[in-house]
Chains A and B, each alone.
Chain A
């Protein structure tokens, strides 16, 4: 099946630094990738939709200057949390759409990245 990886799986950083999280589709091309944020014991909140070669579409309330998304190729999207603060600590999950003729309208999720800002 379609596999999506994320790197790193865990990151701890100091307040004020920037952190980059990578999301890769390993065995398929994904024109569209999605970034979610999950707070403890809560559901996933869509942050933005990322289309290859174009600007990301952010959900209402998500700061685009805070969460920079780049989708430079069909297999890689990156999320950069700029000037991170403790309130940005969360579990970030990406997903990629596609994966074959039987995967219509299906998203494949990465394993997530746990960000802790001290």
Chain B
């Protein structure tokens, strides 16, 4: 079956530090890949997505590139802010299916 593996958190960074949250996946087909963000007490918001190999998703300074050869979709941001503190979920949907497979989530805490 499909699976998504994320680095365990929490990740604590100082403001303006560089962020990387690793995500790797296993899938039998050609999935679409997503990063969702969940702020405290709220639902999930789509942060970015990529639908095919070598696509780069980007939003609000965050980026992730769909790497088929390494089955990875690592999330990066060059300079984090306190407002980026949240839980980040990597996820995939395999083409033709509806079920979302989520990673376990990585909590990011940015301190001033």
Contacts and interface: CB of A to CB of B under 8 A. Distances in A.
Given A105-B51, A109-B36, A49 B98 contact: yes
Contact of A106 (B43, B49, B103): B49
Interface stretch (A11-19, A40-48, A60-68, A73-81): A40-48
Which of B44, B102, B103 has the largest count of A CB atoms less than 10 A from its CB? B44
A35 interface: no
Interface residues of B, number: 22
Interface in A59-118: 93, 95, 97, 104-112, 114
B43 A105 contact: no
Given A34-B100, A44-B102, A105 B42 contact: no
A108 B46 contact: yes
B22 interface: no
A106 B95 contact: no
B104 A46 contact: no
A41 B89 CA distance: 12
A109 B43 contact: yes
Nearest 4 A/B pairs, CB to CB:
A112-B43, A111-B43, A109-B44, A43-B102
Given A93-B44, A110-B43, A105 B95 contact: yes
Interface in B82-112: 89, 93, 95, 98-100, 102-105, 107
Contact of A46 (B43, B95, B100): B100
Interface of B: 32, 34, 36, 41-46, 49, 51, 89, 93, 95, 98-100, 102-105, 107
The binding surface of chain A is classed by DSSP as strand
Contacts of A32: 98
Interface of A: 6, 32, 34, 41-44, 46, 49, 93, 95, 97, 104-112, 114
Contacts of B42: 111-112
22 contacts: A6-B43, A32-B98, A34-B100, A42-B105, A43-B103, A44-B44, A44-B100, A44-B102, A46-B99, A49-B99, A93-B43, A95-B44, A95-B100, A97-B98, A105-B51, A106-B32, A106-B49, A106-B93, A109-B36, A110-B43, A111-B42, A112-B43
